[in-house]
Chain A
Amino acid sequence: MNQPDLTAQSVVKRFGDHVAVDSISFEVARGSFFSILGPSGCGKTTLLRMIAGFLEPDGGEIAIGGRTMRGVAPNRRPVNMVFQQLALFPMMSVGENVEFGLARRGVARTERRNKAGAMLERVGLAGAAAKRVDELSGGQRQRVAIARSLVLEPTLLLLDEPLGALDLKLREHMKIELKQLQAEFGTTFVYITHDQSEALVLSDHVGVMNHGRFEQIGTPQDLYYRPRTPFVAGFVGDSNRLTGRATDVAGDRVRVDTGDGWTVEARREGAVADGDAVEVFVRPEAATLSRAGESGSAPHEGTVESLLFDGAKSAVLLRERRSRREVRVALPQTGEFADLRTGEPIAFRFDAARAVCFRVRSDRDG
């Protein structure tokens, strides 16, 4: 692998006795798209602000392009940031916004104008240079904010939930545009979001963050199919979560007794022993439906609670017969089962390889 553009080594940041960023280490390869995904308040912005230089870490080391950033002021770092609320300068025109950084580097006026014009053209805003910032739509402002940073050709572009302020439709659209821009420019992106779908769609690698720590770093596929902690399994994508006790551990297979009369089979992740309290995560698409009473029908039975139609993501909510637990199962794309009625009996099975089982960590385990 070539030299990483960003390395963080045991970075720590405390606010009083609250540890906002707790010994985080990671690397971001040159030209890749790295996302930091986590719930609100988990320390994402704090981490990003340390990379940008607005906060000094209490411990650890951040290096950009192989150079340590300790004591380097934000205006001297080869990093630019797209702010959560964009922070375009309202007292300047669109063109002046894009030229701002170039002017600070002492680029001559005509060259500045040409570069800014060319950059605006690349983000689809040709001819908007003379406009005022408040004349632009949300999506256009977004592009100006990105153009303003990219025109400086930074080693690293930091983005703090840049799509958060946009409405859903525009967000979907900008998501794709952002991905294309990154591919086109080849700039290394570090992207913060609390939206797992953004992280999965955009990123080469994702770090899932919780309580100031990375739970897992991996490709979107890793996180989705091979979550290594219960938090990741629950946070990334939809899952059915079942709690119970391991009754039979054989290789990486575990039988789990839910304690209320239901037994499921799952794949073990990490150490699980007989009798351990465990939790199982099963994605809706890892379960398959079959008509109740048909020959060779599935091992689990229940009744249909409600149909959740959502196009390709349609699912059925059913109640398991013995445990009365609620289970969400994806409807097949074939249109089969589209005629299910509330209250109808149904059978289903879990793909044991895609149901993942973790031992519940008690406080004694630390």
Chain B
Amino acid sequence: MADAAAAPMSGAGWRKALLMSPALAWLALLIVLPHAELAVLSFREQAGLRHYVPSLSHYREFFHEPEYWHTFVRTAWMSIVATFATLCLAFPIAWVIAKIARGRAAAWLFLACMIPFWISETVRTLGWMILLRETGVLPAVLVKLGIVAHPVELLYHDTTIMVGLIYNSMLFMIVPLVSSLESLDNALIEAAYDLGANGLTVLRKIVIPHAAPGITAGCIIVFMLTLGDYITPTLLGGKDSGWFTEQIYTEFITRFDWGQGAAFGFLLLVLSTLIVIAGLKLSGQRFGDVMGRT
């Protein structure tokens, strides 16, 4: 390794470096630099006018104030539930696209899953609000059908947030699932039936083990998106949605306490990393395999 580095760079080496440069610049400018700045902000405390000393006070504050870490745990838990629910809903859809629909039908189904993403998340979520608010379409329909006597407020519930999160995540689960299910040889499924398996056993012993990298990749993507989402929980959940990103927003924008906000940002990063690692451990997957195979 040391030899290669010491040797003058060959033409191919330069070409490779050139090809990599946008990615490296992106990493440096948008990820490493801001996080370095955030780290500095979070680990210091104002001791006087323009005078800062290193300190853990922002982190201590997080653990002392129950509202903070309640929100934190709630966000993590709801994200896990949303991820799992998305997986359960996306799996049959991905199965139909990958294994049952043929040619054009499969392409149309895929397109149908993508159509919501032609509209920005904000507009889509506002659409949900129009449907769900007390004077909105759905409560009116429910009254018409005689299911409820008076229009009910369907916004600002945890369930509503959950529905919105699942809706936003669907495509990101379906894509990796479809690609991993498509690569499953139908003969394996038939062979399993032939050897006496029933549908459930085929799912458990053949389909899920084969699709595991796709399932894991989809879950990681959806979990990250959900955990870091801001618009959906805030708009559908209202002011008190209790989503951790909202807390970060409040610290930065409302309270102008950048140090506290930075500490929260870091805690969110650590949390998502830990949960992803735990998920990989539980499912017996390796990150490189998962990302390499999908």
Contacts and interface: CB of A to CB of B under 8 A. Distances in A.
B209 A100 contact: no
Contacts of A105: 196
Given A91-B206, A91-B210, A83 B187 contact: yes
Interface string A55-75: 000000000000000000111
A327 interface: no
A12 interface: no
A75 B197 contact: yes
A87 B206 CA distance: 11
B100 interface: no
Interface in A85-114: 85, 87-92, 100-101, 104-105
Interface residues on B, range: 10 to 19
Interface string A72-83: 011110011101
Interface in B156-199: 185, 187-188, 190-198
A309 interface: no
A304 to B, nearest CB: 50
A104 B191 contact: no
Contact of B209 (A52, A54, A83, A91): A91
A14 B205 CA distance: 33
Interface string A236-279: 00000000000000000000000000000000000000000000
A143 interface: no
Interface in B36-63: none
B257 to A, nearest CB: 51
Contacts of A73: 193
B198 to A, nearest CB: 6
B201 interface: yes
A340 interface: no
Nearest to B195: A101
A286 interface: no
Interface of B: 185, 187-188, 190-198, 201, 205-206, 209-210
Contacts of A76: 196
A71 to B, nearest CB: 15
A83 B190 contact: yes
Nearest to B187: A87
A104 B206 contact: no
B203 to A, nearest CB: 13
* Majority secondary structure, B binding face: helix
A52 B192 contact: no
A148 interface: yes
A75 B198 contact: yes
A129 B225 CA distance: 43
A145 to B, nearest CB: 9
Closest 8 CB pairs of A and B: A101-B195, A104-B196, A87-B187, A87-B191, A91-B209, A74-B193, A75-B193, A75-B196
Contact of A52 (B194, B205, B206): B194
B196 A152 contact: yes
B130 to A, nearest CB: 47
A245 to B, nearest CB: 50
Interface of A: 52, 54, 73-76, 79-81, 83-85, 87-92, 100-101, 104-105, 148-149, 152
A149 B187 CA distance: 15
Given A91-B206, A91-B209, A104-B201, A148 B187 contact: no
Nearest to B188: A87
Contacts of A90: 210
A87 B193 CA distance: 12
B194 A100 contact: no
A309 B193 CA distance: 49
Counting chain B CB atoms within 10 Å of each CB, the highest count among A74, A79, A84, A88 belongs to A74
B252 to A, nearest CB: 47
B211 to A, nearest CB: 10
B191 to A, nearest CB: 4
Given A91-B206, A91-B209, A83 B191 contact: yes
Contacts of A88: 191
Contact of B194 (A75, A84, A92): A75
21 contacts: A54-B190, A73-B193, A74-B193, A75-B193, A76-B196, A79-B194, A80-B194, A81-B190, A83-B191, A84-B187, A85-B187, A87-B185, A88-B191, A90-B210, A92-B205, A100-B205, A101-B195, A101-B196, A105-B196, A148-B195, A152-B196
Contacts of A81: 190-191, 194
B74 to A, nearest CB: 37
Contacts of A89: 188, 191-192, 205-206
Nearest to B198: A75
Among B190, B198, B206, max chain A CB count under 10 A is at B190
Contacts of B188: 87, 89
Given A89-B191, A91-B209, 12 more contacts: A54-B190, A75-B195, A75-B196, A75-B198, A83-B191, A85-B187, A89-B206, A91-B206, A91-B210, A100-B192, A100-B197, A105-B196
Contacts of A54: 190, 193
A84 B210 CA distance: 20
B172 to A, nearest CB: 25
A74 B194 contact: yes
Contact of B195 (A80, A84, A91): A80
